Amino acid sequence: MLKSVGKSVGKRFKATLSAKKPKPAASLSSIWDSPSLWGDDISSSGTEVKSNKRVNGGHTGWEQTPVTWRDKNQLNRQSAESDSDDGSTEHFDSQEGLQNGSPHINLLNGSLGNSAKSMKKVRGNRAGLSELHSGLTPAVAQLSTTSLGHLIAESDTADTVDIAADSGSDHDTFTSSFKRKRKSKDELQPKSSKKKRIEKGSRKKSREKHEMELPYMYDSTEEGGKLFACMIHPVTSETFFSEIWEKKPLLLKRHIPDYNKGFFSTSEFDKILRQENIQWGVNLDAVTFKEDKRETHNLAGRAHAPVVWDMYQAGCSMRLLNPQTYSKSVWKVLSVLQDYFGSCVGANIYLTPANTQGFAPHYDDIEAFIIQLEGKKHWRLYNPLNEDEVLPQYSSRNFSVTEIGEPILDTVLEAGDLLYFPRGTIHQGDATDEHSLHITVSCYQKNSWGDLFKKLLPAIIDQAVSEDVTFREGLPRDYLNYMGIAFSDTPGEGQVLRRGFTNKVAGLMESLVSRLTGSGCLDSACDQMGKQFMHDALPPVLQDNEKQCSVRSAGERWEASSSRVVGVSELTPDTQVKVIRRGALRLLTESDQVRVYYSVDNARVYHGADPFFFNISSEDAPCVEHLINAYPHFTCVDDLPLDDLDAKLNVVSMLYERGLLITSQPLETTYDEGGSEEEESWGADGWTVVENDSSRKRGSVETLC
């Protein structure tokens, strides 16, 4: 617990934000570099829904049945590519539902709601997936159709960047050497209470006005929710998580080939092969599944494009691992979704030649969203073989087709479609008469209650042993003579002794449970889960305007024409700051230290670097806590819960210069290097005044804490 380190650290952030929360921007252009917007019309018209009747409640285990949605104009297409139907399918015409206001879909003994409320007519036509209403500003523009492609389409979807990340961790050392212009003592003199109240009120109004006009992502969790809503449209997020999530598969048949356009393409795959150092077995796998046997055909070293395409022509399926490392579009999607799910979100790309299959039937330890990008793929889903394999902790071996039974879903995915299934669902897929390209978006690996308890119970036990002498008392001298599997069925006195031993253990377990409240162990265990998330997470994708309000782009830079440093800027008491993303950092205690773990410096390769963290003092921790709880609102530096202004500026500088904070406006340049104005540099002793360039000396870099 924080209060175990410093008295002031454990205080909860109680200050109420009296400013009314501004409405988040309707646009996701801050994410996708596109003027396209969500609006509220994530809906469909002219559709029909098909849903298999629910078989049983709760976790359906090996009796789960899928939920299917498809475009009504395509329902009459013949069954060569249709889903398997056991006769329990109901059909609803959503257009008729719009007219009479009746429920248009019955899912799992529930409902998506009245059609009049849930399904709105889409403005414009359905064909133009890249069209936007012209002449509208981002504040009022509407999509011409519901499309995930709108959110990720941009002029440079195949952007590849250098993914090299600094190795090692930024632990205790504060290495920044940013210079700041020193405020005069008069400028830092405390103001009268009346004047301070007036200025705070003015800042509050300014903050409210500015937050209404923010050009970049306002709330990363909310934007992730909008993206996910588009992924599973027309099913609502509320229905998905209450009725489908972790319970049964969901199939969305859209018959809109360009719905997912802009996510990834075969052309981009070819470009990555030619421009990046893709290694066999590390970044790319070549596999086949023939005669009930899966084989891997990886070579050694770099996967050169001509060799890859030759193997593809010979019937090998290609699996690109960690595509977010090389594709900016994939990186964008995953980095936004991870804040929504609160866990690592990953992906693989699968390219399958026509009339081939690459992988054997198996199940995975992740929640899987199959997004079909190009071509078609024939999918068959099967229930887990037994209840022990429902929501498993680990992926399965390769199954034989003879041991998995009959499929619960047999369907063909086309470009624009989506298929979701929970971890533990056995699945296999093969390409039809054309190639198939799909991306599997995955989440919730090792993010279960069981994983939390693995961190919680050791902490509770350690605390109980430390605080309660009962847990330190010795075991009965002869317990090994009646406890153990060899004595489980022994009659007589042994059973009496066993019952007494069992009752003693049960009483101690009750004592452990009673420690869940008030001990801080539960919060500490959740912090450890958050710490793991910080290591797993992708760094955020920042837009240019966000970079200009952060250390990524603002501040000092080298001007070649004058051979000097220019653009020196400063944080002031009136600077408004907020955490750059809701899930960007985690405040916790560890080894009797207060630490901040963060993800903004992570590599785009999974676990490409050690966890990043730094230590702070217990006195400074309330400021970090305040900023975390204030998100997504901005906070003035002077409003942070510390008495000393220098301490406030130091904490904010520490976070800002690590890329964890963003300012409400770009910092103003205060002066350029090389003038005669009094300057200072950050050294071992704090702010050190230097008169001019010739006398400037850098202090040695030491730990800030």
Q: Per the structure block, which two tokens stand in for 519?
A: 């001990």
Beta strands 564-566 and 612-616: pairing type? unpaired
Q: Which residues pair with 588 in a beta bridge?
A: 595
Supply the CATH classification number for the domain 449-523: 1.10.10.1500
pLDDT at 531 over 90: yes
- Confidence grade of residue 672 (pLDDT, cut at 50, 70, 90): low
The pLDDT value given to residue 134: 24
* The predicted structure's pLDDT at residue 638: 96
Q: For all residues of the chain together, what is the average pLDDT?
A: 75
**pLDDT value of position 138:** 23
pLDDT, residue 347, reads 98
- Which helix (H) or strand (E) segment is 44 a member of? none
CB 18 within 8 A of CB 119: no
pLDDT at position 50, please? 39
Q: Rounded to the nearest 5°, which phi and psi values hold at 250?
A: -135, 130
Q: Which of 13-22, 86-95, 141-150, 447-456 has the highest mean pLDDT?
A: 447-456
Cα→Cα distances 439→36, 251, 312, 351, 646, Å: 23, 15, 18, 9, 50
**117-131, 264-278, 351-365, 661-675, range with the lowest pLDDT:** 117-131
Higher local confidence (pLDDT), 121 or 329:
329
In the block, tokens 């952030």 appear at: 13
Q: What is the mean pLDDT of residues 424-432?
A: 97
With a cut of 90, say whether residue 399 has pLDDT above it.
yes
pLDDT at 38 over 70: no
State pLDDT tens for residues 457-502. 999 999 999 999 999 999 999 999 999 999 998 888 889 999 999 9
How confident is the model over 541-583, as pLDDT tens digits? 998 889 999 999 888 889 899 899 988 889 999 999 999 999 9
CATH 3.90.930.40 positions along the chain are 2-23+170-217+543-695
**Which are the contacts of 4, defined by CB distance < 8 A and separation ≥ 6?**
10, 520, 589, 592
Section 108-121 average pLDDT: 30
Q: Which of 334, 256, 324 is nearest to 31 (CA)?
A: 334
Task: Supply the pLDDT for residue 597.
Answer: 98
Q: Which pLDDT belongs to residue 668?
A: 87
34-128+223-443, which class in CATH? mainly beta
Q: How far apart are CA 252 and CA 478, in angstroms?
A: 63
Distance CA 399, CA 98 (A): 46
> Mean pLDDT across the stretch 125-152?
35
Cβ(335)–Cβ(359) below 8 Å: no
Residue 176 CB contacts under 8 Å (≥ 6 apart), including other chains: 653, 657, 682
Q: Candidates 3.30.420.40, 3.20.20.70, 3.90.930.40, 3.40.50.970; correct CATH number of 2-23+170-217+543-695?
A: 3.90.930.40
For residues 435-452, average pLDDT = 97
Instruction: Output the pLDDT for position 493.
Output: 86
83-87, 102-106, 623-627: the lowest-pLDDT one = 102-106
Q: Check residues 412 and 695 and name the one with the higher pLDDT.
A: 412
Find the mean pLDDT for residues 668-688.
52
Per-residue pLDDT band for 109 (boundaries 50, 70, 90) equals very low
Task: Assess contact for 425 and 249: CB atoms under 8 A.
Answer: yes
Distance between CA atoms of residues 225 and 228, nearest Å: 5
Higher per-residue pLDDT: 153 or 638: 638
Bigger pLDDT: 584 vs 70: 584
User: In this predicted model, what pLDDT tens digit does every residue of 291-336 receive, in sequence order?
Assistant: 999 999 999 999 999 999 999 999 999 999 999 999 999 999 999 9
Mean pLDDT across 375-379: 98
Mean pLDDT value of segment 121-150: 32
Lowest mean pLDDT among 11-25, 231-245, 321-335, 653-667: 11-25
Q: For tokens 């052309």, what's the residue?
A: 267
What is the model's pLDDT at position 141? 22
Share of the chain above pLDDT 90, in %: 59
Residue 70: φ, ψ to 5°? -145, 160
Q: 250-253 and 418-421: which strand pairing?
A: antiparallel
Q: What integer pLDDT is reported at residue 25 of this predicted model?
A: 34
Q: For 455, which DSSP code?
A: H
pLDDT of residue 259: 95
**pLDDT attached to residue 152:** 62
User: What number is the average pLDDT over the span 94-102?
Assistant: 30
Query: Binning pLDDT at 50, 70 and 90, where does residue 69 land?
Result: low
Check pLDDT > 80 for residue 26.
no
Q: Which residues pair with 375 in a beta bridge?
A: 436
The pLDDT-based confidence of 677 (bands split at 50, 70, 90) is very low
Classified as helix, coil or strand, 150 is helix
pLDDT score of 102 more than 80: no
User: Where in the chain do CATH 1.10.10.1500 domains reside?
Assistant: 449-523
Mean pLDDT of 527-547: 95
Asked whether residue 29 carries a pLDDT value surpassing 80, the answer given is no
pLDDT for the residue numbered 528: 96
Question: What's the pLDDT tens digit per position in 197-243?
Answer: 444 555 555 544 444 444 456 899 999 999 999 999 999 999 999 99
